[in-house]
C-alpha cells in the first residue's frame, strides 16, 4: 500500500491548488482524478466558456465595425472552429496543470477514488493511505424532475460548449451565471434565445438594479426573457423540443432545437464512500468546520461539496487554508461575506458584499452612490456605455458594505472593492485615492463621490 501525508480526491481548482500548496509545505502529496486534471473548471467550465465568450465578443466587434469608422465585409462565424478553439484552450490549461503536478512532485493517481475507514482511499481496486484525506470532488449540472437531461435535446453546460452544430433556437432555463453566459454566447452568433427564469429577476442573486440593467441590455440584443416563469414539462418526441412554460398569464408552449438546463449544480458525493467512513452530510453538502475538517478525524472537504459559495476561487482559497492549518500555521477563517462573484456575459457583472436591499434589511443607515458608464470617457471611447458602478456605505462609520458593477471589463475591476473591504477602508479613503484617467476603474471613485455628494462628472 502506498502511503502519503496528504491525498486529495479530485483535481479541480480546489483539488489541484490544494495539492500544490501541500507539496510546497513539505507534505508527500497525491491527487486522485477520474477524468482530466483541472476538473470541470478548466475542462468544461470557467476556462472554455471564456474562450467561447471571447469569440462572441470579437464577432460582435466585427459586426459593429462601422461604429468605429472601420469597414469589414462579410464577417461570419465558423461554429465548429469556435468550439474547436475553446476545446484547445481547455486542453492547454489541463496540460499546464499536468506540468505543475510534475514540477511540485505530486503523484497523480488516475481512476475513481472511494473513501475507506482508517484514512484510506481505494482507486479502482488499489488501496492508498494518508495521514490526511481532502475531498474536492466538485459538482455537476443539476437535473430537475420536469427537465430530465438526455444530452441531445435537453442539455447541461457540458454539452452546451461542445454541440456538433449551432441550434437555430435555444431555450435557456435558469438565469444564473451559467445561463446568462450561454444565452449571450448563442444569441451573439445568431441563435434565437429565450431565457426562462423562475424568480422575478434575471441573475437573481445580484442587486436589483444590476438585474434590471442586464435585462434591458439582453432585450436590446434580441434575447427573449420570461421571468416569474417555470418549465413544467418538455416533449422531445418530435424533431426539436417543446417546453410547457407556466407564467403569470397562464401556460405557454415554446419550441426550440435544444433546451439548456442551467438551474444550478449537484454535488459529486455519491458512491465516494462517505457513508462507509461516517462523514456527516446535510442537504447535499459535506459538513465541515472553519478549517474544513469533517466530523471524522483525518478527513477534510473543500469546494463545491461544502456549504460555502460554489466558486472556483473559493475552492482554491479553502484548500490553501485547509493544508496550512494542517501544517500548524496560523490561519484565519475565510470571510464568506467578502467573496467576489463574476458573470462573464456582455455586459459583465461583478459584485461583492451586501446588495442595497440586504443592507436595508440588516438595519444599516446607508449611503448609496452610482456612476453610469455613459458618463465615462473611457467607456464612451470604447463604445461600451451600458452599465454602471454602484456602491453602498454605512452612513455612520463609512464601512464599505457592498459594490455592484455591470459593464464591459467589470470582472477585472471588482478586486479593488474586495481589497478595500478586506482592509476595512472607508468611503472617504476611496474617494481620496487618486484613480487614473481615462479608465473604467475611475467609475468606482466617481460612484463613491456620488454617495458623498461630491461627484464631479455627473
| Of 144, 120, 137, 90, residue with least CA distance to 2 | 120
Q: pLDDT of 310-367, one tens digit each?
A: 999 999 999 999 999 999 999 999 999 999 999 999 999 999 999 999 999 999 999 9
- Cell representation of residue 322: 485547509
In the chain, % of residues over pLDDT 70? 100
Q: In the listed set 235, 263, 291, which residue is the last one of a domain according to the structure? A: 263
pLDDT of residue 333: 97
Q: Greatest CA separation found in the chain?
A: 69
Same-domain pairing of 201 and 234: yes
For 85, the 3-state DSSP assignment is helix
- Which residues on adjacent β-strands are paired with residue 248? none
pTM: 0.94
Number of structural domains (the chain) is 3
Mean pLDDT for the chain overall: 95
pLDDT of residue 41: 80
Same-domain pairing of 446 and 396: yes
Same-domain pairing of 306 and 373: no
- CATH, residue 431: 3.30.390.30
456 is a domain residue: no
Q: What average pLDDT does the segment 267-274 reach?
A: 96
Q: Give CA separation, 430 vs 341, 412, 442, in Å.
A: 21, 18, 11
Give 73's pLDDT tier (boundaries 50, 70, 90).
Answer: confident
CA distance 197 to 397: 38
CA distance 215 to 133: 44
115 is a domain residue: yes
Q: pLDDT of 188-231, one tens digit each?
A: 999 999 999 999 999 999 999 999 999 999 999 999 999 999 99
pLDDT of residue 1: 67
pLDDT of residue 130: 97
178 is a domain residue: yes
- Which residues on adjacent β-strands are paired with residue 139? 267
CA distance 284 to 367: 39
Indicate if 437 belongs to the active site. Answer: yes
Is residue 53 predicted with pLDDT exceeding 90?
yes
CA distance 150 to 145: 12
Give 279's pLDDT tier (boundaries 50, 70, 90).
Answer: very high
Same-domain pairing of 206 and 274: no
Q: Which of 64, 428, 437, 457 is catalytic?
A: 437
Amino acid at each position: 500500500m502506498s502511503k502519503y501525508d496528504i491525498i486529495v480526491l479530485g483535481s479541480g481548482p480546489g483539488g489541484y491548488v490544494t495539492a500544490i500548496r501541500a507539496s510546497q509545505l513539505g507534505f508527500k502529496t497525491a491527487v486522485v482524478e477520474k477524468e482530466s486534471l483541472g476538473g470541470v473548471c478548466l475542462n468544461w467550465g470557467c476556462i472554455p466558456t471564456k474562450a467561447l465568450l471571447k469569440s462572441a465578443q470579437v464577432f460582435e466587434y466585427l459586426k459593429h465595425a462601422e461604429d468605429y469608422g472601420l469597414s469589414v465585409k462579410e464577417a461570419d462565424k465558423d461554429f465548429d472552429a469556435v468550439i474547436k478553439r475553446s476545446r484547445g484552450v481547455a486542453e492547454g490549461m489541463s496540460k499546464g496543470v499536468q506540468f505543475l503536478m510534475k514540477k511540485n512532485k505530486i503523484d497523480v493517481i488516475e481512476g475513481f477514488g472511494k473513501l475507506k475507514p482508517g484514512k484510506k482511499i481505494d482507486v479502482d481496486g488499489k488501496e492508498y493511505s494518508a495521514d490526511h484525506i481532502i475531498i474536492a470532488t466538485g459538482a455537476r449540472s443539476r437535473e430537475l424532475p420536469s427537465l430530465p437531461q438526455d444530452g441531445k435535446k435537453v442539455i447541461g453546460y457540458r454539452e452546451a460548449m461542445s454541440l456538433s452544430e449551432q441550434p437555430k433556437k435555444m431555450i435557456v432555463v435558469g438565469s444564473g451565471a451559467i445561463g446568462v453566459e450561454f444565452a449571450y454566447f448563442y444569441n451573439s452568433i445568431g441563435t434565437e434565445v429565450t431565457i426562462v427564469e423562475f424568480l422575478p429577476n434575471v441573475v437573481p442573486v445580484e442587486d436589483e438594479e444590476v438585474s434590471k440593467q442586464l435585462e434591458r441590455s439582453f432585450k436590446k440584443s434580441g434575447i427573449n426573457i420570461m421571468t416569474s416563469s417555470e418549465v413544467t414539462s418538455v416533449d422531445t418526441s418530435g424533431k426539436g423540443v417543446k417546453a410547457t412554460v407556466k407564467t403569470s398569464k397562464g401556460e405557454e408552449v415554446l419550441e426550440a432545437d435544444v433546451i439548456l438546463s442551467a438551474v444550478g449544480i449537484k454535488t459529486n458525493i455519491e458512491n465516494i464512500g462517505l457513508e462507509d467512513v461516517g462523514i456527516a452530510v446535510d442537504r447535499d453538502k459535506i459538513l465541515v468546520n472553519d478549517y474544513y475538517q469533517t466530523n471524522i478525524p483525518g478527513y477534510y472537504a473543500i469546494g463545491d461539496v461544502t456549504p460555502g459559495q460554489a466558486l472556483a476561487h473559493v475552492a482554491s482559497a479553502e484548500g490553501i487554508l485547509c493544508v496550512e492549518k494542517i501544517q500548524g500555521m496560523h490561519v484565519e477563517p475565510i470571510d464568506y461575506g467578502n467573496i467576489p462573484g463574476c458573470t462573464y456575459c456582455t455586459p459583465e457583472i461583478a459584485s461583492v458584499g451586501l446588495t442595497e436591499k440586504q443592507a436595508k434589511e440588516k438595519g444599516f443607515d446607508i449611503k448609496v452612490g452610482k456612476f453610469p458608464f455613459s458618463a465615462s470617457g473611457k467607456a464612451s471611447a470604447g463604445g461600451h456605455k451600458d452599465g454602471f458602478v454602484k456602491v453602498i456605505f454605512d452612513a455612520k462609520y463609512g464601512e464599505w458594505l457592498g459594490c455592484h458593477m455591470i459593464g464591459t471589463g467589470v470582472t477585472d475591476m471588482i478586486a479593488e472593492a474586495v481589497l478595500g473591504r478586506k482592509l476595512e477602508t472607508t468611503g472617504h479613503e476611496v474617494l481620496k485615492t487618486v484613480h487614473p484617467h481615462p479608465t473604467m476603474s475611475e467609475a468606482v471613485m466617481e460612484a463613491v463621490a456620488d454617495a458623498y455628494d461630491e461627484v464631479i462628472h455627473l
